[in-house]
Structure 1
């Protein structure tokens, strides 16, 4: 750790622990930004807009953590960096739908913010298991 950055282990149980910790940070960023958005805006499509805000914030947080600490990926150029981010987003489309199904499903069934956030947390956790495999094979290969 000569440059002060977190060193992600190359594999094994320690990698799983780091990935889980970063997933938890991303989930908190996602749901926390949703809550902030809900506090700042009360109007048409409040919940849908807050979920979009949370999705965007969580995506960026998870990308930065995964790129630098899990996969130790360095961009060769600006174009390469943009391509990497676009691939990261594309690989996350299906897992985002899983997250949204759980979050909006919990909201439709229970009609409470707490249930919706719990559904979101479950959906994000489920999606991150698949997302790691996709990122390892297609984004940061």
Structure 2
């Protein structure tokens, strides 16, 4: 049970980091591409935060060195690409359907929640495996 609690807590932390960065970008950017820029920046920050937490506290991966980190982070990012489509699709759909920041963030939270469940399974099977 503690694994589920930790994973959920880390997903919440990464989600808050993601949405916080999105708000910063949306507040500062005045361009037609501002939503895309905000989603990309938030996703990158959330990815790094979640990787650091998952590596050590979820999968107990104690590998060190640039090569090990590069391999794991690359695989983690590729698996994240799959789940990012879920997240971005949900966030964009809510934005287009309702046109409010609250709805957009609700769609983001829904998409991230679904994506993190899928991502755990992918990471367990393909990322944090013996070298």
Q: Report the TM-score when normalising by structure 2.
A: 0.95
**Which structure 2 residues correspond to residues 72-83 of structure 1 after superposition, within 5 A?**
72-83=60-71
Alpha-carbon separation, structure 2, partners of 1:21 and 1:123: 16
Tell me the alpha carbon deviations over residues 43-73 of structure 1, each in whole angstroms, 9 at most, x when there is no partner.
2301110011110011011001101111121
Aligned length: 129
Alpha-carbon separation, structure 1, partners of 2:64 and 2:26: 39
Q: Which runs of 5+ in 1 are unaligned?
A: 1-12
Point out the structure with the larger helix share: 2
Alpha-carbon separation, structure 1, partners of 2:88 and 2:26: 17
Alpha-carbon separation, structure 2, partners of 1:72 and 1:37: 33
The aligned residue for residue 29 of structure 2 is 41
Tell me the alpha carbon deviations over residues 76-100 of structure 1, each in whole angstroms, 9 at most, x when there is no partner.
4311210100000011111100000
The aligned residue for residue 113 of structure 2 is 125
Alpha-carbon separation, structure 2, partners of 1:62 and 1:19: 9
The aligned residue for residue 73 of structure 2 is 85
**Which structure 2 residues correspond to residues 19-98 of structure 1 after superposition, within 5 A?**
19-98=7-86
Shift >4 Å, 4+ stretches: none
Q: Which runs of 5+ in 2 are unaligned?
A: none
